[in-house]
Amino acid sequence: MITKEELMKIQILYQQGVSQRRIAKELGISRNTVRRYLAKGIDTPEYTKREKRTSKLEPYK
């Protein structure tokens, strides 16, 4: 998960002219993640809630 601090670092480094690939390497995150957050211009990280799965053993409980 990406934190708000990391998101701020992404924006600051990009404004300083650092490439997306270099930002991803420095922060240890995916280039696609860097690209997505820069393209959307988001201030806070977005995460969707996942649906709770049922167990394969549920019918036998």
pLDDT tier, 54 (very low <50, low <70, confident <90, very high otherwise): confident
Does the model's pTM come out above 0.75? Answer: no
Structural tokens at position 5 = 């601090």
Distance of CA 48 to the CA centre of its chain: 12
Q: Are 29 and 6 in contact (CB under 8 A)?
A: yes
Average per-residue pLDDT for the chain: 88
What is the pLDDT at residue 15? 94
Confidence of residue 14 (pLDDT cuts 50, 70, 90): very high
